């Protein structure tokens, strides 16, 4: 499982800039005005072979009464509660503020691992600012400049020490599929698993946030075993706090890291939201197949709404999941759930699919013959040979003369041809483009 690293701090201390540096790309919006970061941003990070997921949060300001700011505060607290490692980002030249000290106290009392990035320190002479931050009661102060790169090498090494080494991926075609149930709070995740189990094993409450930690639930259908991953380890109802409503994305990150596929549970009464799209997007980025389940469909039918309206909303919000199966169901009554395991079995067959090199090359040759590659610079793109190098999801490598010149639209065309020819309509397919090695060129020239 990848470690979750959360960047927290008050507004305008440089969290998003540091996030972009660590992620290696510009993902978070950066602006000089406080409060620009609204939602959590997350990105995989690889430091010296160690894997993690880094999360940028909104600024922490407990005194601002603006409703939007209170939501940002809730996200920061949620990140602190769920993360495996917290990075407190402070503004070095400004010195510690009451907000920094309050957040440091939360980190100290949590007892969880942390680092402190004292930002905007861009030279050795400015490292004297570090002494001011000792009053926060936290060790491990690291002088950095996210904007200029000062101190980032040492900080990355410290961060890497908290990340797990990338595990060896072991493919077991006989293992029961692990199905992550993801979605917004109160979409009905625990109700769904209780219905499938036929018992009230998971606590269900109408208030968001009842479910706390990941829980694996095994069940059998038609002689086959399945493992459902619910974000479930429940607090007593009286202890539920509003800030827990912000935990769903990070819970999804944790459960997806150890799942084979995901059921995105959507409250059909409320429709598809941006948060649904964010959660689905992470599953898509991780190469996990997705089943979209529109829950509470019995209530939707009672209102006279149609499947066509549901599909129109889906196409608008989640075009990247255009081939994902959509199941209209009710966790409360069991409506539509008889089709669920058929979808899971079909998806897992495709997810674990293997093809011979000869078959893969025939597909690529046919595709290239049907749609001639465009020119790239002075010459035309050439594709030499391809092979499947992995499954879960099916992953193919295609060797070409100019990998960087292959337009994403042509790459998508090749992926679609692979999916059509190999019967992979429900599984994500990865296509990696690589330059043909000089050694291969020499072997080819040396042939009689």
- The model carries a pTM of 0.62
Same domain, 301 and 379: no
Please tell me the total count of domains within the chain.
3
CATH number reported for the structural domain that contains residue 415 in this entry: 3.30.300.20
Q: What is the pLDDT of residue 345?
A: 95
Q: Which of 111-120, 343-352, 428-437 has the lowest mean pLDDT?
A: 428-437
Q: How high does pLDDT run on average in the chain?
A: 78
Show contacts of 330-333: CB within 8 Å, 24+ apart: 330/295, 330/296, 330/297, 330/298, 330/299, 331/188, 331/191, 331/192, 331/194, 331/195, 331/265, 331/295, 331/296, 332/188, 332/191, 332/195, 332/296, 332/298, 333/298
Helix/strand/coil for 201 = coil
Does the pLDDT of residue 244 top 70, yes or no?
A: no
Same domain, 276 and 409: no
Q: What is the pLDDT of residue 230?
A: 66
Q: Is residue 58 part of a domain?
A: yes
Q: What is the pLDDT of residue 355?
A: 93
Does the pLDDT of residue 170 top 60, yes or no?
A: no
Q: Is residue 314 part of a domain?
A: yes
CB contact at 8 A, 141 and 190: no
396/172: higher pLDDT: 396
Q: Report DSSP letters for 249-312, one per residue.
A: HHHHHHHHHT-SEEEEEEETTT---HHHHHHHHHHHHTT--EEEEEE-HHHHHHTT--HHHHHH
- Chosen domain end from 160, 192, 207: 160
Q: Is residue 334 part of a domain?
A: yes
Segments in 162-223 forming alpha helices (H): 189-197
User: How far, in Å, CA of 6 to CA of 250, rounded?
Assistant: 10
β-sheet bridge partners, residue 183: 265
Does the pLDDT of residue 205 top 50, yes or no?
A: no
> Cβ neighbours of residue 235 under 8 Å, at least 6 residues apart?
210, 212
Q: Is residue 265 part of a domain?
A: yes
> Cβ neighbours of residue 206 under 8 Å, at least 6 residues apart?
186
Instruction: Please give the share of the chain, as a percent, with pLDDT higher than 70.
Output: 75
Does the pLDDT of residue 119 top 90, yes or no?
A: yes
Does the pLDDT of residue 439 top 90, yes or no?
A: no
Distance of alpha carbon 278 from its chain centroid, rounded? 8
Same domain, 329 and 282: yes
Same domain, 81 and 183: no
CATH number reported for the structural domain that contains residue 298 in this entry: 3.40.50.300
**pLDDT per residue as tens digits for the range 376-392:** 777 788 899 899 988 88
Of 282, 294, 113, whose CA–CA distance to 192 is shortest? 294
Same domain, 204 and 344: yes
Same domain, 114 and 210: no
Same domain, 144 and 204: no
Q: What is the pLDDT of residue 362?
A: 95
> Cβ neighbours of residue 232 under 8 Å, at least 6 residues apart?
189, 190, 193, 202, 211, 212, 213, 214, 215, 217
User: How far, in Å, CA of 430 to CA of 419, rounded?
Assistant: 10
User: How far, in Å, CA of 283 to CA of 226, rounded?
Assistant: 19
Does the pLDDT of residue 246 top 70, yes or no?
A: no
Same domain, 393 and 434: yes
Does the pLDDT of residue 34 top 60, yes or no?
A: no
**Dihedral, CA atoms, 239, 243, 244, 247, nearest 10 degrees?**
-160
Q: Is the peptide bond before 393 cis (omega within 30 degrees of 0)?
A: yes
Q: How confident is the model at residue 215 (pLDDT cuts 50, 70, 90)?
A: low
Q: Is residue 169 part of a domain?
A: no
Same domain, 311 and 404: no
Same domain, 275 and 362: no
Q: How confident is the model at residue 351 (pLDDT cuts 50, 70, 90)?
A: very high
CA-CA-CA-CA torsion sign (374, 376, 378, 380)? negative
Q: Is residue 19 part of a domain?
A: yes
Q: How confident is the model at residue 446 (pLDDT cuts 50, 70, 90)?
A: very low
- Chosen domain end from 290, 321, 351: 351
- Chosen domain end from 106, 133, 160: 160
User: How far, in Å, CA of 443 to CA of 448, rounded?
Assistant: 10
User: How far, in Å, CA of 37 to CA of 21, rounded?
Assistant: 16
Q: What is the pLDDT of residue 30?
A: 45
User: How far, in Å, CA of 306 to CA of 295, rounded?
Assistant: 14
CB contact at 8 A, 110 and 83: no
Instruction: Kindly provide the b/e burial profile for residues 322-334, where b requires at least 16 CB atoms within 10 angstroms of the residue's own CB.
Output: eebbbbbbbbbee
Does the pLDDT of residue 399 top 80, yes or no?
A: yes
Q: Which of 37-46, 143-152, 161-170 has the lowest mean pLDDT?
A: 37-46
User: How far, in Å, CA of 293 to CA of 267, rounded?
Assistant: 9
Q: How confident is the model at residue 38 (pLDDT cuts 50, 70, 90)?
A: very low
Domain containing 367 equals: 357-445
306 φ/ψ angles, rounded to the nearest 5 degrees: -120, 165
User: How far, in Å, CA of 58 to CA of 200, rounded?
Assistant: 37
β-sheet bridge partners, residue 230: 215
Q: Is residue 167 part of a domain?
A: no
User: How far, in Å, CA of 403 to CA of 405, rounded?
Assistant: 5
Same domain, 330 and 423: no
Helix/strand/coil for 178 = strand
Same domain, 111 and 198: no
Does the pLDDT of residue 121 top 90, yes or no?
A: yes
CB contact at 8 A, 291 and 263: yes
> Cβ neighbours of residue 31 under 8 Å, at least 6 residues apart?
none
Task: Give the number of other CB atoms < 10 A from CB of residue 375.
Answer: 10
Q: Is residue 170 part of a domain?
A: no
């Amino acid at each position: 499982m990848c470690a979750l690293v959360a960047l927290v701090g008050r507004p305008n201390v440089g969290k998003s800039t540091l996030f972009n540096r660590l992620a290696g790309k510009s993902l978070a919006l950066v602006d000089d005005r406080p409060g620009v970061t609204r939602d959590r941003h997350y990105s995989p990070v690889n430091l010296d072979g160690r894997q993690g997921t880094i999360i940028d949060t909104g600024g922490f300001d407990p005194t601002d009464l603006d409703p939007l700011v209170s939501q940002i505060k809730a996200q920061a607290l949620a990140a602190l509660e769920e993360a495996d490692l917290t990075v407190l980002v402070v503004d070095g030249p400004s010195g510690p503020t009451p907000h920094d000290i309050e957040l440091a106290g939360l980190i100290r009392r949590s007892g969880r691992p942390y680092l402190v990035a004292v930002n905007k320190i861009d030279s050795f002479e400015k490292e004297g600012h570090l002494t001011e931050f000792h009053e926060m009661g936290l060790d491990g102060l690291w002088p950095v400049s996210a904007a200029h790169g000062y101190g980032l090498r040492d900080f990355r090494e410290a961060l890497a020490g908290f990340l797990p080494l990338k595990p060896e991926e072991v493919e077991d075609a006989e293992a029961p599929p692990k199905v992550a149930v993801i979605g917004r709070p109160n979409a009905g995740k625990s109700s769904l698993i209780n219905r499938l189990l036929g018992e009230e094993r998971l606590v269900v409450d109408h208030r968001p946030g009842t479910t706390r930690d990941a829980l694996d639930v095994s069940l059998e259908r038609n002689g086959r075993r399945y493992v459902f991953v619910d974000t479930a380890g429940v607090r007593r109802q009286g202890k539920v706090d509003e800030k827990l409503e912000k935990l769903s994305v990070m819970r999804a990150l944790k459960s997806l890291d150890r799942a084979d596929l995901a059921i995105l549970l959507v409250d059909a009464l409320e429709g598809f939201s941006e948060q649904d799209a964010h959660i689905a997007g992470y599953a898509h980025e991780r190469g996990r197949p997705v089943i979209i389940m529109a829950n509470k469909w019995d209530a939707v039918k009672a209102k006279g709404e149609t499947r066509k309206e549901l599909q129109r909303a889906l196409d608008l919000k989640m075009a990247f999941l255009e081939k994902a199966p959509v199941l209209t169901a009710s966790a409360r009554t069991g409506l539509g759930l008889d089709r669920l395991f058929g979808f899971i079995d079909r998806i897992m067959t495709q997810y674990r699919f293997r093809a011979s090199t000869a078959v893969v090359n025939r597909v690529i040759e046919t595709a290239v013959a049907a749609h001639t590659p465009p020119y790239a610079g002075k010459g035309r793109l050439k594709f030499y040979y391809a092979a499947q190098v992995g499954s879960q999801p099916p992953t193919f490598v295609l060797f070409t003369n100019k990998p960087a010149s292959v337009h994403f639209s042509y790459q998508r065309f090749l992926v679609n041809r692979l999916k059509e020819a190999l019967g992979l309509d429900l599984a994500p397919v990865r296509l990696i483009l690589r330059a043909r090695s000089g050694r291969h060129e020499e072997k080819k020239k040396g042939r009689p």
